[in-house]
Structure 1
């Protein structure tokens, strides 16, 4: 069993940017999944910006977005990218540093 202390988790505000392409089912699913994860795990301490690259293609250059949907965790550092519809909740939480990656990680702590 993995012991995890909430003190190990980042406590500051999260700045997240979700890059999508139009209103496709995959884009819609990514937005819904991310809003649910934020509501359950980051209530009151996140800023989620959704960027449709069809409407704002220039936005992809700064963060070098090559696939969508892509979630970028800008703050807290380090910057992280998660590609896909964000349906793998554990992978998203680990990518946001909100949960351990798994019991195997404990051996490396």
Structure 2
């Protein structure tokens, strides 16, 4: 059954960009010392479409979504590496199965 009206059942990933004031660092350095960036709320990220800072709850949710995606991608890459290493069965043998001893 498809939902036809009302808010979405799942939170969507919103496009983010670096804060133009602090260049994504979350802090600004006016003269000699660093101060928290008031524009982006110390996060370094703003909405790409509007340029407005995100609310703390929304920012936490968006960063959690991105973190989950990165973890899934890392798990896939680890599995691919494990598959390649298992197929390789590398034991240090050279051409024609001879070992190189450095002589």
Q: TM-score range by the shorter chain?
A: under 0.3
Q: Which has the larger radius of gyration?
A: 2
**Which has the larger share of strand?**
1
Higher relative contact order (CA 8 A, sep 6+): 1
Q: TM-score, normalised by structure 2?
A: 0.25
